[in-house]
Amino acid sequence: MPAKKDKTASLKTQDATFTCKFCEKSKSLSEMTVITRFFPVTVACRECAKKLG
Ligand SMILES: [Zn+2]
């Protein structure tokens, strides 16, 4: 019996997430903010960006 690949499994790849390195929570990319005042430029979630000022 040949292995059948389920094509519906690849439909969920659109929901890209990013793990915030400050709170280590996985959030969607739309929640992420680039903090340009840091060098190198750092990406954090909105909550942490607020805390960082
Ligand atoms: Zn965060």
DSSP designation for 48: H
Burial code (b: 16+ CB inside 10 Å, e: under 16) for 18-49 equals bebebeeeebeeebbbeeeeeeeebbbbeebb
Tens digit of pLDDT for each residue in 14-29? 678 999 999 999 999 9
pLDDT value of residue 27? 94
Task: Using DSSP, state whether 42 is helix, strand or coil.
Answer: strand
| Cα 24 to ligand 1 centroid, rounded to whole Å | 6
Across the chain, mean pLDDT equals 83
pTM greater than 0.85: no
| Cα 29 to ligand 1 centroid, rounded to whole Å | 12
Task: Using DSSP, state whether 52 is helix, strand or coil.
Answer: helix
| Cα 45 to ligand 1 centroid, rounded to whole Å | 4
| Cα 16 to ligand 1 centroid, rounded to whole Å | 16
Domain assignments of the chain as residue spans, ordered by start: 17-52
Which structure tokens are listed for 11?
Answer: 């439909």
Percent pLDDT > 70 in the chain is: 79
pLDDT value of residue 16? 86
